[in-house]
Structures are given as structure tokens and as C-alpha cells.
Amino acid sequence: MTQQIQAYLKRQLRKREEYLESGPFSVGITASNDDPYCNYAVPAEGAQPTEAEVAELIQFFEAKARHPRLEYIPEWAPDVEPALLAAGFSVESRTPLMTCRKIDLEIPREPAGVEVGIPTSERDLRHLMLIVNEAFGSPPPETSDVLKLERRIQKGIIVRQAFESGSKRILGGGSCTDIVGGLTEIVGIGVSTESRGKGVGGYLTGKLAEAAFKAGANICFLMAATSREARIYQRCGFKRIGEVLHISK
């Protein structure tokens, strides 16, 4: 399964505004957004990069005014990490890689006074993106970011927002990437500061997975940023199958 997921992640890079094959690396660049999570590379399966190939990768990122960065499943290419460390890279994190099948999904109980639904206006999307960006330490969304998300929704990606039943105040949101080969990644689960610790994130995750399965996914996967989040996802039926290495220079 980790091999399928790594191949999926590599395919997703090809959808970035700029895509390049540099030696044993595939690089995706988002020209309109310098967020590190939108600009990174993945190695080819079993890659054994030379010093020159790593140097070429660094030069490419720097030419694009981006920090050299990779996200990948280390068992996919175990010789890559030592080569990167030797070139001055540092490990950012090792995040749990978790998957869930439809049969294993357990949607947590709905938190009191909270609903999950589909954003219906540009205003909703902007507020949702603001909360998610704040949760990940990213700047507020630009109008172009909101319009881009609108277009992606029109093409079929799944986005859900959590909101208060009465006031309709948005509390958080998240999305699923394109379903390819029965796989989809649940990404960007973010909840407002005052709503954390109340079960909103877990319920939102469960409802996103439910929507993905209804849309034809066989397996949902995600990367848990912390062990606390991993426990939340476990309660939704997700199981750890490995880890994802985040490494940069």
C-alpha cells in the first residue's frame, strides 16, 4: 500500500503549475504560492542520488526562489535521506502515514451544536481557508486562492466545512484530493482555536472520508502532524502503515 500511495503522491505533483524531472527526483512548484507544503520533490523508487544530482536539485529550487524540500515515504527510497543529510538537509518531521478502508470507517459522534456541510458561497470558502491557513501557520488566502479552490470544487474535489448549527459560524474545514485508482488523501483539516478539543476535527475527518467513499474511493489516507492527531484519526478507523519524511535545506 505504501508503494501505491507514493506513486499517487508523485502523480499529484504533475498537477502543480510547474513540474520537472531532475535526475531521480520529481519536483512540483506552485509559482503563485511559496508555502513549503506547495513546493517539494519526491524521489523515484529505489533512487540512489549522486552528490551532483542532489546539487542540481538544490539549484533548481533556489532558481525558483524556493527552499529545497522533499516529502516522501522513506522506505520507497532508503538511500535518499543519507544523501540529503550529507548535502546539508535537515529533517523537519516524520509524520505517521495512516489509511482507512470503508469497512473500517467509524464516524465520531456529532459534537453538540455542530454540523458538517458543503461550502455554498465564496464567503464560506474564504472563511474556511482562513481558519485552515491559520491552523497551519500560513498567511490569509488571497482572492486568487479562493477562486482556485472554487474551480477545483467544480472539477469534483471534495471540500467540507464544520459550522455551528444556529449561527452557521464556520469552525473548520478540510478536503480530499482527486480520487485516482481508488485512492484519495484527506488534507488540510483545520479547526479554529476556540473550537479545538471539542471533537470537531475528528467528526470533520469522518465526514470527509464518508463523502470520499460515496464518491468512489476505496482507501483514504492522510498524514498526521502529531501523535495527538494520530489518536483522533485512529478513532475514525485510520491505521498507521508507515511514515512520511519531511526534509528540507
* pLDDT tier at 145, thresholds 50, 70, 90: confident
pLDDT by residue (tens digit) across 159-186?
999 999 988 899 999 999 999 999 999 9
Question: Is the pLDDT score of 154 beyond 90?
Answer: no
Question: Is the pLDDT score of 82 beyond 90?
Answer: yes
pLDDT at 189: 93
Higher pLDDT, 40 or 16: 40
- CA–CA separation, 67 vs 226, rounded Å? 23
Q: State the average pLDDT over residues 90-95.
A: 95
For 144, counting Cβ atoms within 10 Å of its Cβ (0-12 exposed, 13-18 middle, 19+ buried), the class is exposed
Which domains are seen in the chain, by residue range?
2-88 (no CATH), 101-241 (3.40.630.30)
* pLDDT tier at 148, thresholds 50, 70, 90: confident
Give percent above pLDDT 90 in the chain. 71
pLDDT at 220: 98
* pLDDT tier at 136, thresholds 50, 70, 90: confident
Question: Is the pLDDT score of 243 beyond 90?
Answer: yes
Question: Is the pLDDT score of 213 beyond 90?
Answer: yes
pLDDT at 152: 86
pTM, two decimals, is 0.90
Question: Is the pLDDT score of 116 beyond 90?
Answer: yes
pLDDT at 216: 95
Question: Is the pLDDT score of 33 beyond 90?
Answer: no
pLDDT at 228: 85
DSSP string computed for 149-207: HHHHHHTT-EEEEEEETTT--EEEEEEE---BTTEEEEEEEEE-GGGTTTTHHHHHHHH
